[in-house]
């Protein structure tokens, strides 16, 4: 049975309905479950509703969702081989499938982290550490300021991680007409950048499936420049990486196999529950050099070359959060994943046709994957806001406005195989 879409309530409404839930003597399991079922859960949107098409939704398989409960119920520590060997073995098998899709070598490996934000940050910290090490070996001084190449559609998490957390200069290269970062555009920007900035560049971030537009960068062109300049190539495929499993779009990712690090969020388009990001390194030794925590009490964990997931990202204690994804992959097999991703792509293609045929809509960017960005001709911000909140309050659909090139518009992000062309058609009709 499909869970209802539900809707948020205000703090005052929730307080009136739920009151004070944490008390000195406890309210007991029956009352706590009642409160959750009848009040709190109903004030949380169902991200896996077939007409939830905002941001990037999720659509966990039943197997993955069920196994998540088991992971939560077991006290498995996922940070080290010593404590969680069985869990880490299974997680690594799931990572291997992804590494093969990317085209990374056998030695590649990594870890499941909380989400794309932490995945991107961990990869870029490893990239800088590797650059520092290489410069030291070559006897080159540390640059005045480290810098990384991005573009306008690069995800906000990358820019925040670089500028605020790492204090690195974000060099923004103009995208092409679909917002894609391309090799020629990077070369042209390099011609006008001061030598002092160029000297500090240690990485370039390519996006394989931009969040707002769903478009894949010119990965081959970007990889070419990265190789020439000896920069680290990081690929953010948090949303779009699932497309690697789909033969109909695999060609768009050509060049991805040259990356040094890569992320994809199975909680987006690979049917796993929150929160789960697969982070992979071409050479995990470089990541280990950046992320391994050293302390006397941790010495028993650092044994030989055992695989300790906490060595590969910014975290120590970790839930074995890749296990629900692994379980579902093991149960259904990889072919089922290919079919489910192709199913969403075919719904997106049908949606694109419906938009083309609707005289009240205009597609804004040629889609690559399963995001469709379009405008309702004649609508202003207030029209989108009113329509969007009405659709949510009616429990009909969750489709929020967005902006593209300064203009308000809207988009469908389709990752749920249960979303049908009929769902999209009904939403399109509601915009007349």
Ligand X SMILES: Cc1ncc(COP(=O)(O)O)c(C=O)c1O
Q: Using CB under 6 A, which of 57, 115, 179, 324 touches ligand X?
A: 115
Nearest distance from C-beta of residue 243 to ligand X, angstroms: 12
Q: Using CB under 6 A, which of 5, 47, 53, 56 touches ligand X?
A: 56
Q: Using CB under 6 A, which of 155, 234, 282, 352 touches ligand X?
A: 155
Task: Tell me the window of 187-195, 235-243, 314-322, 396-404 that interacts with ligand X (CB under 6 A).
Answer: 235-243
Strands 147-151, 169-173: parallel, antiparallel or unpaired by DSSP?
A: parallel
* Rounded Cα–Cα distance for residues 5 and 7 (Å): 7
The three-class DSSP label of residue 218 is coil
First to last CA, the chain: 30
Task: Tell me the window of 65-73, 115-123, 191-199, 252-260 that interacts with ligand X (CB under 6 A).
Answer: 115-123
Between the alpha carbon of residue 313 and those of residues 236, 247, 289, the distances in Å are 15, 31, 11
Nearest distance from C-beta of residue 235 to ligand X, angstroms: 10
By the rule CB under 6 A, 221 interacts with ligand X: no
Subset of residues 304 to 363 that bind ligand X, contact rule: CB under 6 A? none
Choice between 121 and 186, CB closer to ligand X: 121
Nearest distance from C-beta of residue 170 to ligand X, angstroms: 15
* Partners of 113 in the β-ladder: 277
* Rounded Cα–Cα distance for residues 368 and 94 (Å): 26
- Within 13 Å and on the Cβ side, how many CA atoms surround 304? 3
By the rule CB under 6 A, 239 interacts with ligand X: yes
* Rounded Cα–Cα distance for residues 184 and 429 (Å): 42
| Contact in structure between 328 and 337 (CB atoms under 8 Å) | no
Task: Tell me the window of 40-48, 101-109, 236-244, 297-305 that interacts with ligand X (CB under 6 A).
Answer: 236-244
Q: Give the contact letters, 270-289, x = binds to ligand X (CB under 6 A), - = no.
A: -------x------------
Choice between 214 and 255, CB closer to ligand X: 214
Q: Give the contact letters, 5-44, x = binds to ligand X (CB under 6 A), - = no.
A: ----------------------------------------
Sign of CA dihedral 233, 237, 242, 248: negative
| Contact in structure between 273 and 58 (CB atoms under 8 Å) | yes
Q: Residue 385 belongs to what H/E stretch?
A: helix 381-393
By the rule CB under 6 A, 238 interacts with ligand X: yes
140, two tokens? 């080159």
By the rule CB under 6 A, 370 interacts with ligand X: no
Angle at the Cα of 415 from the Cα atoms of 413 and 421, rounded to 5 degrees: 75
Q: Give the contact letters, 176-215, x = binds to ligand X (CB under 6 A), - = no.
A: -------------------------------x---x----
For the chain, the farthest-separated pair of C-alpha atoms sits apart, in whole angstroms, at 69
Q: Using CB under 6 A, which of 116, 183, 214, 401 touches ligand X?
A: 116
Nearest distance from C-beta of residue 369 to ligand X, angstroms: 11
Nearest distance from C-beta of residue 262 to ligand X, angstroms: 12
By the rule CB under 6 A, 157 interacts with ligand X: yes
The three-class DSSP label of residue 431 is coil
The three-class DSSP label of residue 233 is strand
Nearest distance from C-beta of residue 42 to ligand X, angstroms: 24
Task: Tell me the window of 61-69, 113-121, 286-294, 369-377 that interacts with ligand X (CB under 6 A).
Answer: 113-121
* Rounded Cα–Cα distance for residues 258 and 233 (Å): 8
What residues line the site for ligand X (CB under 6 A)?
56, 115-117, 155, 157, 207, 211, 236, 238-239, 265, 277
């Amino acid at each position: 049975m499909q869970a209802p879409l539900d809707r948020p309530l205000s703090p005052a409404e929730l307080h009136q309905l739920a009151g004070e839930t944490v008390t000195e003597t406890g309210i007991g399991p029956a009352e706590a479950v009642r409160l959750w079922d009848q009040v709190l859960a109903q004030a949380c949107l169902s991200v896996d509703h077939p007409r939830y098409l905002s941001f990037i939704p999720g659509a966990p398989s039943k197997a993955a969702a069920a196994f998540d409960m088991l992971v939560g119920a077991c006290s498995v520590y996922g940070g080290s081989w010593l404590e969680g060997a069985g869990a880490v073995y299974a997680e690594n098998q799931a990572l291997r499938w992804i590494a093969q899709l990317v085209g990374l070598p056998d030695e590649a490996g990594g870890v499941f982290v909380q989400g794309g934000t932490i995945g991107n940050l961990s990869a870029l910290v490893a990239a800088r550490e590797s650059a520092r090490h290489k410069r030291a070996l070559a006897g080159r001084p540390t640059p005045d300021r480290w810098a990384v190449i991005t573009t306008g559609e690069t995800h906000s998490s990358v820019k925040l991680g670089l500028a605020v957390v790492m204090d690195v200069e974000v060099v923004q290269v103009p995208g092409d007409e679909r917002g894609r970062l391309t090799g020629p555009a990077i070369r042209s920007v390099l011609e006008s950048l001061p030598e002092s900035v160029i000297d500090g560049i240690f990485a370039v971030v390519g996006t394989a499936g931009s969040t707002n537009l769903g478009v894949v960068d010119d990965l081959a062109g970007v990889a070419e420049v990265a190789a020439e300049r000896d920069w680290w190539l990081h690929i953010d495929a948090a949303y779009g990486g699932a497309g690697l499993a789909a033969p109909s779009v695999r060609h768009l990712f050509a060049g991805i196999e040259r990356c040094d690090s890569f992320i994809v969020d199975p909680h987006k388009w690979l049917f796993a529950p929150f929160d789960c990001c697969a982070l992979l390194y071409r050479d995990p030794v470089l990541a280990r050099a950046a992320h391994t925590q050293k302390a006397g009490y941790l010495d028993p964990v650092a044994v030989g070359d055992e695989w300790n997931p906490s060595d590969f990202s910014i975290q120590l204690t970790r839930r074995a959060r890749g296990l629900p994804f692994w379980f579902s992959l093991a149960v259904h097999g990889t072919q089922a994943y290919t079919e489910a991703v192709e199913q969403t792509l075919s719904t997106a293609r049908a949606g694109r046709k419906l938009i083309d045929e609707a005289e009240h809509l205009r597609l804004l960017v040629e889609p690559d994957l399963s995001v469709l960005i379009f405008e309702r001709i004649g609508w202003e911000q207030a029209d989108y806001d009113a329509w969007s909140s009405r659709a949510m309050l009616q429990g009909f659909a969750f489709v929020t406005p967005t902006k593209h090139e300064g203009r308000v518009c809207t988009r469908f992000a389709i990752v749920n195989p249960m979303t049908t062309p009929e769902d999209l058609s009904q939403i399109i009709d509601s915009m007349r």
